[in-house]
Copies of this chain bind each other. A is one copy, B any other.
Amino acid sequence: MGIHQYFWSLNELERIYRCPGKFKFEEHSVAAHSWKVVQYAKTLADIEERNGVTVDWKKLYEITSSHDYGEIFIGDIKTPVKHASRELRALIQQVEEGMVDRFIEEHIPEEFKPIFRRQLQEGKDNSTEGLILEVADKLDQVYEAFAELKRGNTEKEFIEMYRHALIKISHIRLHCVDYFLDQILPDMVNDEIVSRVDIRSITDEALGGRRNGMEQ
């Protein structure tokens, strides 16, 4: 009953973790993921603007910040399930939308209902803002998978996640995608190609002529 119910519900997304079941060195809540998507989208939109594209910032704000809100109702359904059949996928989306609608119907005051209906609907359309959201969402998969691989995780899932997200991004026609592929991705990959840590030589360098007991 009321906006309180909505504000209170946000806390749930701090307790839903992405990629349940897979071994990882670091967990990411849906809330933290959503925040990073908001951040990426901001910079991606800046890049679009610098290339003369007009960005509707209110729309971008609305669709990026709420893009995974529906997970409160449907939980964490694995990607392979969602894509198992076109029919199933459509049904799941219907159910999610139905539950969001019911939440709005029951809890949101009359005067805010249209606003919430607009904000909580699926935002990934073909508008500039919808495409930026799509890139930002996939970009977080790139970073999540990259961080695991960099830390030595050898689970196939993260290789696949990294690959698929890159491929998805590379097929979207936005200026910011070019910028990502040309300027950001090379830095990321080079960042990783760092020689492994060699404790002995760091030690030698730090101590210079001082130490004398170290065997060589």
Interface residues of A (CB under 8 A from B): 1-8, 10-17, 20-23, 25-26, 28-29, 31-32, 34-36, 38-40, 42-43, 46, 50, 55, 57-58, 60-62, 65-66, 71-78, 80-81, 84-85, 87-88, 91-92, 95-96, 98-99, 109, 111-112, 115, 119, 139, 143, 146-147, 149-154, 159, 162-163, 166-167, 170, 179, 181-194, 196-197, 199-200, 202-203, 205-207, 210-215
Q: Is B73 touching A81 in the complex (CB atoms < 8 A)?
A: yes
Inter-chain contact A149/B197, CB cutoff 8 Å:
yes
Q: How far is the CB of A15 from chain B (nearest CB, A)?
A: 5
Residues of B within 8 A of A34 (CB): 35
Contact A184 B7 (CB under 8 A): yes
How many copies of this kind of chain does the complex include? 6
Give the distance in Å from the alpha carbon of A14 to the alpha carbon of B74 in the complex.
Answer: 21
One of B55, B147, B183, B189 near A11 (C-beta < 8 A): B147
Q: Which 5 A-B pairs have CB atoms at the shortest separation, nearest pair first?
A: A182-B213, A35-B35, A4-B187, A57-B58, A75-B78
Q: Which of A11, A35, A60 has the most CB of B within 10 A?
A: A35
Q: Which of B15, B61, B95, B191 contacts A88 (CB 8 A)?
A: B95
Contact B40 A38 (CB under 8 A): no
- Smallest CB separation, A28 vs chain B (Å): 7
Given contact pairs A42-B62, A154-B194, a sample of 20 additional A-B residue pairs in the complex whose CB atoms are under 8 Å apart: A3-B183, A11-B26, A13-B21, A14-B26, A15-B20, A15-B23, A16-B20, A35-B35, A57-B61, A61-B61, A74-B77, A77-B81, A88-B91, A151-B154, A154-B196, A162-B206, A170-B211, A181-B212, A186-B215, A189-B200
